Chain A
Amino acid sequence: MGGFTPDNLVKAKEIIGLYPKARSALIPLCHLAQSQDGWLTPEAIVEIADLLDLAPAEVKGTASFYDMLHTEPVGRYLVGVCTNIACMLGGAYELLEHCEDRLGIRCGQTTKDGKFTLEETECMAGCDGPPCVTVNYRYFLGLDNQGIDQLVDDLEAGRLDNEIPPHGTVYRNSRNVGLTASPTQEPQAGGKSSQIAQPTPTKRGAK
């Protein structure tokens, strides 16, 4: 299975251990998978489903509800331009057009080199410096066209590598205290008591 790396599998089980019910860990585990692969791969979906005793369709169905979880590959930098009311009043659509020109892609597309994906976002709560631009959810407020050009140049040259991790890593730290789940602990899967063998997952699982 090409899901989590061994280290991330340990992390995944720690995350599950934080919650009274395993399924609550679904979104955190999707973030973990994206931090590993940049997007939510089918392999990761299957592994998350296994860990949480869900069907892969349920994991994908849940993940696809959320804008940040991508079931298709995304560029290394996800550039978001907020065009909601406050940013629009601050010239966001004009800036978005400039981004399209500068990157040579339309909104929603990824550059051929896989470096940039451009999207139009809803309000990011950066309304005190419109238009609000985010790169992998790091804020750049009040940029004009030149500011965008500079930002893209810096990203391409790797000058922002320390500040902006590749797409998928949202938060670089994690809970490191009071973790109760031992790495070998199985997620709770209903109130099973005595069994000689573990039950096979029913036909819901992927092969």
Chain B
Amino acid sequence: MSTPKMVTSRLGFEDSFTIDRYVKTGGYQALRKALKMTPEEVCAEVTTSNLLGRGGAGFETGRKWSMLRANPVRYLVVNGDESEPATFKDRMLIERDPHQLVEGTLISAYAIQATQAFIFIRGEFALGLERVLGAVNEAYEYGAIGPDIFGSGFSVDLVVHPGAGAYICGEETALLESLEGKRGYPRIKPPFFPAVIGLYGEPTVVNNVETMSNMPWIISNGGAAFAALGAGRSTGTRLFALSGHVKQPGNYEIEMAKSTFRDLIYNPDLGGGVRRDNKVKAIIPGGASAPWFGPDQLDLHLDQDEVAKAGSMLGSGSVVVMDEETCMVRAAWRIARFFHRESCGQCTPCREGSGWIDKIMRRIEDGYGREEDLDLLMDACDNIAPGVTWPPQQTTICVLGPSIPSSVAWSIRMFRDEYLIHIKEGGCPFS
């Protein structure tokens, strides 16, 4: 593959996380370049690149920045709370190239003229926290953080903030609450955008780690070079986290929109095929919230809009492959259980519905299901996200609620027979 490596170029080095290696491989040149541009020019490059946010929602980064309310105080918060099941790309970027993240954050902070920047890192990333803390200390000494960065007159502090274990803090307003030292409760909307009312009520941009890590390349090579890759709105490269029943699970940086799920799974340089050369039974694109795809949908391109049109989402860029030996009930139950354990508990449908669905699914998997349970499950899903459509109708404060039905409802729709076998045989045929 001749696609440039925008965020994974240093991973071949053992010492990729040190400032020495970083500077030797061109590190902090993009920041120096950006500081010589006006903030508006930096923003323009990002807008030209059409970089879509890499956290899951895929919002245009340039547009998000342009929505910032004019205010003497502005914050930049980097979302490194990666907790989406089967998503492990940010952890790699955090641990293996922390300076790239720091540099990207500083470029962005300059672009939006942030008065302070925070990198919120998932608390469980012990090594990641050590690496980014170390990088911030080094970068400060190097003159890249703090007062008068590289003599440019621009000053900003960058604080590494550890999380403490709660999936919901990946939701940007919950993350802000958590960063304010509160329970990680997503905020009610309106106000709809942190860009208007964010951290401490001030205008705030929240961007994902991978989004930030793209900034040095975009500034060094220009937004147009980034936009030249990919297709349509899906520009540049993207990290895909491939896991499940593939021979070579891992993170793969590939050009957006050019490859298909099949390529990702079977290409010898990528997934390398399914274990024991089994058949694919289903895949989960884009995280636990995404409706599943069957083997007939593997030729869809890894393109945000194409996948959305097909009824699911590229989301966090993760792909879980499940082969023919997998119990679909058990798989769907485990995702339901995840939402049950991670619901923040604010909204009744999510708090109570997730637990109920978990219990019913578990009962079916254990062989105590009743046929009417399938209707009950679908109706409970309908009471959480009316219509059980994709994209879902949201009647809760955040999108965790409407995410619950995806695995349950889609697995019932796709594999109803398998549920009925569980019910009729009084147990799981796969165990």
Contacts and interface: CB of A to CB of B under 8 A. Distances in A.
A and B associate in one complex: yes
Interface of A: 18-28, 30-31, 52, 61-63, 65-69, 83-86, 88-89, 121-130, 134, 136-139, 170-178
Contacts of A52: 181
B371 interface: no
A110 B161 CA distance: 29
A122 B83 contact: yes
A139 B94 CA distance: 15
B159 A67 contact: no
B165 A69 contact: yes
A23, A30, A177 pick with most chain B CB within 10 angstroms: A177
Interface of B: 82-88, 90-91, 116, 122-127, 129-130, 133-134, 136-137, 140-141, 145-146, 157, 159-167, 178-184, 200, 241, 243-245, 249-251, 284, 288, 318, 320, 322, 326, 330-331, 334-335, 338, 341-342, 344
Contacts of B163: 27, 66, 68
A122 B137 contact: no
Nearest to A84: B85
6 contacts: A23-B180, A24-B161, A26-B181, A83-B334, A85-B331, A125-B82
Contacts of B137: 173, 175-177
A47 to B, nearest CB: 15
A175 B159 contact: yes
B247 to A, nearest CB: 12
A84 B123 contact: no
B91 A125 contact: yes
A134 B338 CA distance: 18
Nearest to A34: B164
Given A137-B126, A176-B137, A27 B178 contact: yes
A122 B341 contact: yes
Nearest to A29: B181
B176 to A, nearest CB: 10
Nearest to B73: A20
Given A27-B161, A86-B249, 7 more contacts: A62-B182, A66-B164, A85-B284, A89-B243, A89-B326, A125-B90, A177-B137
B164 A123 contact: no
A18 B195 CA distance: 22
Contact of A85 (B200, B335, B344): B335
Given A31-B162, A89-B326, A123 B200 contact: no
Contacts of B288: 85
B164 A30 contact: yes
Nearest to A122: B338
Contact of A24 (B85, B179, B249, B318): B179
A122 B342 contact: yes
A127 B243 contact: yes
Contact of A62 (B183, B251, B322): B183
Given A66-B166, A67-B164, A84 B134 contact: no
A18 B159 contact: yes
A30 B164 CA distance: 9
B164 A61 contact: no
Given A66-B184, A68-B124, A31 B164 contact: yes
A135 B135 CA distance: 24
